[in-house]
Amino acid sequence: MPQAPHSGKAGPGEGHGREAGKFRHKFRLVAMGFTQRAGLDYFETHAGVISITVVRMILSAIAALDLKACQFDIGTAFLECELDEDIYMRLPDYLGGKIWKLNRAIYGLKQSGHLFVKLLNHFLRELGFKQSQTEPQLFTLITKFDEVDAAEGIKSDVDAKWNGWGYMLIGAYIDDILCASNSQNLTTWLRCELENKFSKIKHSDLRWLLGMNIKVQPGLVSMDQELYCINVIERFRDYLMEFCSVNGKIKTRKTPAEAHTVLSKADCPKTPAEAKSLSRLPYAELIGCLLFLSNQTRVDISVAVNDCARFMSNFGLVHWLAGLRILQYLILNPKRPVIWVAGSKNPMTIIFHVDASFASCPDTARSRYGLLGLLNGAFVCAKTGILKNVRTSSMDAETGALAQCSMQAIIVRRYLADMGFPQCEPTPIGEDNNAALLFSQGPVASKRSRHIHVDHHFTREQQVEFKTIRVYREPGVSNFADDMTKNNTFDVKDRHTTISMGSPTLLPR
């Protein structure tokens, strides 16, 4: 059904000739998609979006290769798609109450996103882009400029280091397109093609993407969520004042959690009355906001947030205070960015660190694993979680963590190959447990290790037979994945964060 008309001041580039300060009225007809029936009114609804890992990898490539970055926004994207199904829609009474047959997708239909992604992907493939098989919303164009020149009349403007090759990366998140290229002429060509295909295209420098502030400078790219972080702090400021204030001022923390502490089910409510007293607290909302931060940019709060998230359905006061403590930590530095830099001899080579915390869960005695993948000075891949079964030794837990890291390494290697940077050498994985390291290299069997079957063979196969990974000894002091398995002291956390997120001293003042 249509949205109610509303008015607002026309912003920059809006108004179509209207005088500044004039009001305009907007009106959008939106379908009541919830009345659609599966198998009759729609068949496919999946609309793929680019993963945050690939977004980080593209930003890392921009810094390492000094690419030109921009973004495109396709306005009224869903209206560009022709419907595959017969859809009839009754208009509201104040628009005549007639029944129309829809020829194009409109906002509100369940299949609109799927149809637009399908249309955009087909269009980019027709232009000559190669679609990634691992990440379907990642597209790469590698072409000789003389070939492009003959077909499109585009002149080469690439540096001599590219030897006449044009290179372009595209990451699509529905109608938001992240673009990185070594040629301004290629970017202009893509812009013209998009404008010819779609009715409304907005082109701009890369500054904001998916709520993240991105700054691109020669040889350096930074990404932060300062605005979102401040908004979250303001949203829960009343609770911070109630639970975390001293003399009317919010107390800040240097770490997101107390060192070496783990939350437990023992702190959950014991009686219905206790649970009811906590029902006014928006715990799920708080942890949801923090999860978004930790999954996008703030890897430094990953362990603390992941620990809190285990109690979303039944939280106690201790869990609530643990969530607020993370906000107290964020208040100190809401702008902490992830920083990628140029300068490496082999810039598009990734390195992993992995670690495990043996039997760290007090409720199940399961172990926590953590891994980080670094590309050009900062992480692009991060993961932490609890292993699915109980491990009987540190070596057992580390072997499980190694298997998780091996799978992530394979995925990232595929991303890099699709981006045009196939990894010729095995991907190094730093591991601080010598027993797990030796166990990963050969088919060792003993009474204590015979049961470690799938994890061991998967890692050993990738290392010995396929040579996709290479596990090496990385002492715990310099293993930055240690910060993904436990809550450390301020000194340790600060050192590891500087490694995993890039040093803030690299940013120009």
Q: Quick one: pLDDT at residue 260?
A: 87
Angle between helices 302-309 and 317-332 (to 10 degrees): 160
pLDDT at 333 over 50: yes
What is the domain count for the chain? Answer: 4
Residue pair 35/123 in contact (Cβ under 8 Å)? The answer is no
Q: Are residues 174 and 115 in contact, defined by beta-carbon separation less than 8 angstroms? A: no
Share of the chain above pLDDT 70, in %: 92
Mean local confidence (pLDDT), 60-74: 94
Secondary structure (H, E, C), 250-310: ECCCCCCCCCCCCCCHHHCCCCHHHHHHCCCCCHHHHHHHHHHHHHHCCHHHHHHHHHHHC
Label residue 151 by pLDDT band (50, 70, 90): low
Contact 486, 368 (CB under 8 A): yes
Is 154 found in the same domain as 58? Answer: yes
Q: Are residues 497 and 359 in the same domain?
A: yes
Segment 434-446 shows an average pLDDT of 79
Q: Work out the mean pLDDT of the chain and round it to a whole number.
A: 88
Residues 98, 101, 102, 103, CA torsion sign: negative
132 domain-assigned: yes
Based on the fold, state whether residues 49 and 8 are members of the same structural domain.
no
253 within some domain = yes
Is the C-alpha dihedral spanning 243, 245, 247, 251 positive or negative? positive
Q: What is the mean pLDDT of residues 158-167?
A: 87
Same domain for 365 and 250: no
Phi, psi angle pair for 299, to nearest 5°:
-65, -15
Q: pLDDT at residue 12 above 50? A: no
3-class state of residue 52 by DSSP: helix
- DSSP structural state of residue 367: P
Q: Give residue 1's pLDDT.
A: 34
Return the ∠ at Cα 146 (arms to 144 and 149), rounded to 5°. Answer: 110
- pLDDT band at residue 438, thresholds of 50, 70 and 90? confident
Q: 371 exposed, middle or buried (CB, 10 Å; 0-12, 13-18, 19+)?
A: buried
Q: Which residues are 209's β-sheet partners?
A: 212
Residue ranges making up the domain that contains 280: 226-332
Indicate whether 414 and 498 sit together in one domain: yes
Task: Measure the CA–CA gap between 114 and 120, rounded to whole angstroms.
Answer: 10
Q: Which of 173, 236, 171 is nearest to 210 (CA)?
A: 173
In a domain, 218, yes or no: no
Instruction: Judge if 274 and 370 occupy the same domain.
Output: no
Where is the domain boundary, 287, 311, 332?
A: 332
- What pLDDT shows up at residue 157? 84
> Does some domain include residue 487?
yes
193 and 110 co-located in one domain = yes
For residue 9, the model assigns a pLDDT of 36
CATH number, residue 88:
3.30.70
Q: Are residues 311 and 181 in the same domain?
A: no
With cut-offs at 50, 70 and 90, classify the pLDDT of residue 27. confident
Residues 411 and 469 in one domain: yes
- The helix, strand and coil proportions of the chain, stated in percent and rounded to the nearest 5, come to 40, 25, 40
Percent of the chain whose pLDDT exceeds 90: 65
Q: Specify if 191 maps to a domain.
A: yes
Report, as an integer, the average pLDDT of 79-102: 87
Residues 141, 167 contacting (CB under 8 angstroms)? yes
Whether residues 358 and 325 fall in one domain: no
Ramachandran angles phi, psi of 197, nearest 5°: -90, -40
Q: List, in order, residues 6 or more apart from 297 with CB less than 8 Å away.
A: 212, 223, 224, 225, 336, 337, 338
Residues 197 and 59 in one domain: yes
Q: Does residue 181 lie within any of the structural domains?
A: yes
Assigned domain for 35 exists = no
Q: Is the pTM of this model over 0.95?
A: no
Query: End of a domain among 310, 332, 354?
Result: 332
Cβ neighbors of 302 (< 8 A, separation 6 or more) are 294, 370, 382, 384, 484
pLDDT at residue 241 is higher than 90 = yes
> 308, 332, 356: which is the final residue of a domain?
332
Q: Is residue 215 part of a domain?
A: no
Q: Is 281's pLDDT higher than 90?
A: yes
Do 416 and 57 form a contact (C-beta atoms < 8 A)? yes
- Residues 191-211: tens digit of each pLDDT: 999 999 998 899 999 999 988
Q: Are residues 290 and 431 in the same domain?
A: no
